Amino acid sequence: MSSHLAVHARARQASRASRALLSLLGACALAACGVSAPDKARPPAPVALAPAAPVAPAVQRAPEAPPQVAAAPTRPAAPAVAAAPNCSVVLYGDSILHGGYGGNLRLAEPPAAALKRLRPRYTIDDRTANGETATTRAASFASEKREARFVVIGHGINDAALSLPVEAPLRSMIATAMREGRVVIVTGLSRQRIPVPGRDKYDAAIRKVAQDTGAGFADWGAEEFRANEMADILHPAGAYSQRLSMRIVQTLDRLAPDCRV
């Protein structure tokens, strides 16, 4: 019995020794492979991920400019040309403004020609007539066609000699011309060796009409008078007539300095 127990004891020891040897061999095998036996199964360590870089917003490209075409060289603008002034005058009057004398004669340089010589820029439309009165001309004045900028009216000496009214026909002609947009000039009365009866009265009446209506006034009565400068008892000769024409020119110059040449 004791021998039997001893056998079992030795067998158990041998079994334990065998297991220990196997365990040792296993450990050596793991060590040779560089692997240590884990005590327990461990989950793999989490791997830290680098934060994702922010996505850059899409850049919108500016539309491409069309190709530049070289502009043709520009020429300097021509300077503006000022419009030519309207220098035109129509003359209405009796023999004094007509330059008449001796019945049917006419001065070598009547007032219309003197105006043109003194102010070449003017266009002259001469409608004067020997023996005419303001009353006669006023009857047809409104129906006449005119183009001139200025209207010169030289009536009165025949009206005074015939005792005809002068204010009413003058006012009528002035009003008509102004409605047409024209500038009016009236002349005073010239002087004579033997004054025409009523000359001063009519001269003052014409001056008043000019003042009342705003018409220009060429003061013929203020011009120097010499008895030896008359073509006859009533009509001025060349030098006196030219001075009367200069009075009209001076009035035109005040009203239209742009036409003064």
Fold classification of 88-259 (topology level): Rossmann fold (3.40.50)
The Cα angle at residue 158 between residues 209 and 111, in degrees rounded to 5: 80
Whole-model pTM over 0.75: no
Confidence (pLDDT) at 66: 59
Q: How far is CA 121 from the centre of its chain?
A: 26
Task: Identify the H or E element spanning 154.
Answer: strand 150-154
| Helix, strand, or coil (residue 122) | coil
Confidence (pLDDT) at 261: 74
Confidence (pLDDT) at 33: 38
Confidence (pLDDT) at 10: 55
List per-block mean pLDDT (blocks of 10 residues) for the chain, which spans 261 residues: 48 52 42 42 50 54 59 65 87 98 96 98 98 98 98 98 98 99 99 95 99 99 95 97 98 97 74
How far is residue 50's CA from residue 59's CA, in Å, rounded to a whole number?
A: 26
Domain boundaries, the chain: 88-259
Exposure string of 52-80, with b = 16+ CB inside 10 Å and e = fewer, is eeeeeeeeeeeeeeeeeeeeeeeeeeeee
Confidence (pLDDT) at 83: 78
Rounded to 10°, the helix 167-179/134-141 angle is 30
